[in-house]
Amino acid sequence: MKLPLSELEFSFSRSSGAGGQNIQKVNTKVTLNWDLKSTVFYSPEIINRLVKLFPQYITDESKLQLVSQSQRTQLANKAQCLEKLKNLLTKAHIKPKIRKKTSPTRASKEIRFSEKKNRGEIKQNRKKIKF
């Protein structure tokens, strides 16, 4: 599976959180944007599955947006974004199994009814007998 690096847009900004002067001076936060409407690398089926599985990463403009700011360097955060994208695409490539409608077997119905009957008898036996 090849990642569409030519279609990806990276933007960099300052990270939040602890880190001292390094955080205040260096743009280590990486935001990856991928326009899903104009992609030519993946079929619409996979793109639709990606949108359905991961709506939290999709913006209003139909762009997939991933953010990484946990690493100390811009390069490491960029690699982490690409790894996230690879994992999402791997999950989107898996076709969901089509459920075949089945009915319960005769034996399973009988077992269920006998358990219901036993449970009802237990509850009947709890009642106090009035004289």
**64's tokens:** 């997939």
Give the C-alpha separation, 113 to 104, whole Å.
12
- As a whole number of angstroms, the distance between CA 91 and CA 1 comes to 12
- pLDDT (tens digit, 0 to 9) for every residue of the chain, 131 residues total? 677 788 899 999 988 766 677 777 888 899 999 999 988 888 899 999 999 999 999 999 999 999 999 888 899 999 999 999 999 999 999 998 999 999 999 999 999 999 999 999 999 988 877 76
Query: Using CA atoms, how far apart are residues 94 and 87, in angstroms rounded to an integer?
Result: 11
Burial (CB count <10 Å: 0-12, 13-18, 19+), residue 88: middle
Match domain 5-93 to its CATH number in 3.40.640.10, 1.10.238.10, 3.30.160.20, 3.30.1490.270: 3.30.160.20
Return the pLDDT at 130.
72
Angle at 85 between CA 88 and CA 83, to 5 degrees: 110
